Amino acid sequence: MAKVKYIVRENTRMAPHSFYAQAVATGTLTYDEVCEKACKKTNIEPSLMRAAVTEYMDKVQELLLMGYRVPLGDQFLFLYPSINVSVKDEVNETTGEVIKPATADMVKVASAIGKVAATVSTKFSKRFDLEVSWQRIDAKGNELEDEEDITNNGNTPTPGGNGGNTPTPGGSSSSSDDGDEPGLEG
């Protein structure tokens, strides 16, 4: 079973006051390192792997620019184009009364931000939840003992949680049953 470290952080930016768990990356691999790891126990040379994956990813980018949803792996990640723009009612800060309601005509593409978004298949998200154990660490990176395992290992979600799909502040997380529907994006 894989062990991923996490740290508990305090949310001081938004009300209500809260704490949240944030995963701490084991490290960062280079593209070449991933290609080399992918070639272990195969007859594929790392240079051929890099060339094939580079060609594939060039095509993925081209297709995204054309508006397609594109899979990265079989039932793993799906990339898709996303547009972020919204308008809100104008509200009196003192009374909370709506001064000017928002309308669809107020949404202008000129103020939009185009992004690439991603979903993770539910099948892999469930596998991840089942196969990963979590180790809490302190601010200095020291492992803390006697911590309760925070995973739900495929059981019902923990109180106040949603089964492992809770986005961390400033990040996003989503999953989709089959990758056909876009997920939430932050």
Per-residue pLDDT at 69: 95
Q: Which residues contact 97 (CB under 8 A, 6 or more apart)?
A: 91
Q: 72 in helix, strand or coil?
A: strand
Domains of the chain: 2-176 (4.10.520.10)
List pLDDT tens digits, range 24-73. Answer: 988 999 999 999 999 999 999 999 999 999 999 999 999 999 999 999 99
Query: What is the pLDDT averaged over residues 77-94?
Result: 92
List pLDDT tens digits, range 123-159. Answer: 999 999 999 989 898 888 888 876 555 555 545 444 3
Per-residue pLDDT at 12: 84
List pLDDT tens digits, range 170-181. Answer: 333 444 444 444
> What Rg value do the Cα atoms of the chain yield, rounded?
21
Structure tokens at 118: 């991603």
> Pick from 57, 104, 59, 98: which is nearest to 85 by CA?
104
What is the C-alpha separation between 30 and 36, in angstroms, rounded? 10
Per-residue pLDDT at 144: 86
Per-residue pLDDT at 147: 57
